[in-house]
Amino acid sequence: MLENLLCEVKKIESAVGYEIVAPAHKIEIDRLKDWTFSHIKNDLWFSEYEDFLKLRNGLDFDGFIIYCTNPEDENNDFIIANSVWRNEYKENGNYLFFGESGISWFVFDITLERFVELDKPSGDFIKSYDSFNHMLINILKRAIG
Could you give the maximum distance between any two Cα atoms of the chain, in Å? 42
Q: Count the domains in the chain.
A: 1
For residues 108 and 115, what is the distance between their CA atoms, to the nearest angstrom? 4
pTM: 0.94
List the pLDDT tens digit at each of the 145 positions of the chain.
999 999 999 999 999 999 889 999 999 999 999 999 999 999 999 999 999 999 999 999 999 999 999 999 989 999 999 999 887 766 666 899 999 999 999 999 999 999 999 999 888 999 999 999 999 999 999 999 8
Sequence-ordered alpha helix ranges (H) in the chain: 2-15, 26-39, 47-55, 78-88, 132-144
Q: Which domain holds residue 59?
A: 2-144
For residues 91 and 71, what is the distance between their CA atoms, to the nearest angstrom? 24
Q: How far is CA 98 from the centre of its chain?
A: 3
Q: Is 145 helix (H, G, I), strand (E, B) or coil?
A: coil
Q: What is the CATH number of the domain that holds 102?
A: 3.40.1580.10
